[in-house]
Amino acid sequence: MQVVSAREFRANQTKVLTAARKGQTVIITSRVGTFKIVPITDTDTIIESDLRASMEEVKAHLEGKINLPNARDIEF
């Protein structure tokens, strides 16, 4: 595990991010809190793209471009 200050992180971003990418736990401490740096996984990327697509669909519905089913009409 590597613990760095926010100042040290700013000065050595590539080094710190490379360590996190290789699987090392990196903790950044600052006046506003303590944070853990972790790389984005394939699952995170899939979730992000699904959320973006969902938000675009809702936006199109609100603009009257498409109709979406009512929640009461959906059976689980």
pLDDT tens digits for 33-74? 999 998 877 777 777 788 888 899 999 999 999 988 877 777
64: left (phi over 0), alpha (psi -120 to 50) or beta: left
Is it true that domain 2-37 has CATH number 1.10.3470? no
For residues 43, 40, 19 and 35, what is the CA-based torsion angle, rounded to 10 degrees?
-120
Q: Where exactly are the structural domains of the chain?
A: 2-37, 42-73
Global pTM reads 0.54
